[in-house]
C-alpha cells in the first residue's frame, strides 16, 4: 500500500526538498515517509513491497487501497484491525454475500472508513474475485501485469504514480467487474505487493522482495 505523495509523503513537508533516504536512529536508511511514524516504519520494514500471492491477501489489499483513496495510508493502516474485524477477515466468499443490512452495519462502524460507495465496492469486488477463480484466480490475474523492468528511484519525487501496466491492470479489472481500481490505485497496489520495486536506491529494503534484484 504505497501511494501518491499525498499519502505516504504526508509525513513530509511538501515545501522541503526531497532528501532521498534518511538514516534512522537504528542506522538504517529509509525514505522520509517511513522515518517518522513508528507504525509506518514497521510497515515499511516488514511488509510493504513484499509479495502477496494468495487470493484473500490480494483481495484485502485491493479493498484497503480503495478505502485509502483520498486519505493517508497511515489512516488506513491504523484502522486495518477494525477493517479486518468488520469485513470478516476479508474472506471473499463471506463478503460477497453481504446485503443491505451489512452495508448499514458497516456504515455505523466508527472503526472503519464509512463511505457507502467504497463499502459497496468491497462487496462488488468480492463477488468479482470469486468469478475470477474460473480464470486462474485474482492473485495470478494481478501478477500477470508485472512489467519487465522496475523503477530505480533515488528520491521520492522520482517514483511514478502510474504506469502502462497499472493502466492496463485497471482496465482489465474493471472489465471483470471490479470497482475503485483506478490506474493510480493499482500502481500503489503493485508497489505494495512487490510487483514492482519502488524502494529508493540506498534504502535498506531495496531488493528485499526477491522479485527484483537489488
Q: Which residues are tagged catalytic? A: 43, 65, 73
How long is the chain?
214
What are the backbone angles phi and psi of residue 138, rounded to the nearest 5°? -60, -45
User: What's the CA gap between 101 and 99, in Å, rounded?
Assistant: 5
Helix/strand/coil for 30: strand
State CA 202 to chain mean position distance: 22
Angle at alpha carbon of residue 76, lines to 161 and 4, rounded to 5°:
15
Give the Cα separation of 110 and 114 in Å (integer).
7
Residue 76, CA atoms < 13 Å, CB-side half-sphere: 20
30 forms beta bridges with 22
Amino acid at each position: 500500500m504505497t501511494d501518491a505523495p499525498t499519502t505516504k509523503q504526508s509525513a513530509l513537508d511538501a515545501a522541503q526538498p526531497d532528501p532521498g533516504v534518511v538514516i534512522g536512529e537504528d542506522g538504517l536508511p529509509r525514505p522520509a515517509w517511513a522515518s517518522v511514524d513508528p507504525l509506518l516504519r514497521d510497515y515499511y520494514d516488514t511488509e510493504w513491497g513484499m509479495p502477496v500471492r494468495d487470493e484473500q491477501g490480494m483481495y484485502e489489499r485491493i479493498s484497503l487501497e480503495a478505502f485509502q483513496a483520498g486519505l493517508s495510508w497511515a489512516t488506513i493502516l491504523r484502522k486495518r484491525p477494525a477493517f479486518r474485524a468488520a469485513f470478516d477477515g476479508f474472506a471473499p466468499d463471506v463478503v460477497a454475500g453481504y446485503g443491505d443490512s451489512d452495508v448499514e452495519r458497516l456504515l455505523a462502524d466508527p472503526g472503519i472508513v464509512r463511505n457507502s460507495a467504497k463499502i459497496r465496492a468491497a462487496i462488488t469486488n468480492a463477488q468479482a474475485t470469486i468469478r475470477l477463480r474460473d480464470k486462474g484466480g485474482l492473485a495470478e490475474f494481478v501478477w500477470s501485469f508485472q512489467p519487465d523492468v522496475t523503477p530505480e528511484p533515488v528520491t521520492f519525487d522520482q517514483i511514478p504514480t502510474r504506469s502502462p501496466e497499472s493502466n492496463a491492470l485497471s482496465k482489465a479489472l474493471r472489465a471483470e467487474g471490479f470497482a475503485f481500481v483506478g490506474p493510480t490505485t493499482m500502481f500503489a497496489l503493485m508497489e505494495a505487493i512487490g510487483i514492482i520495486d519502488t524502494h529508493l536506491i540506498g534504502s535498506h529494503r531495496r531488493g528485499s522482495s526477491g522479485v527484483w534484484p537489488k
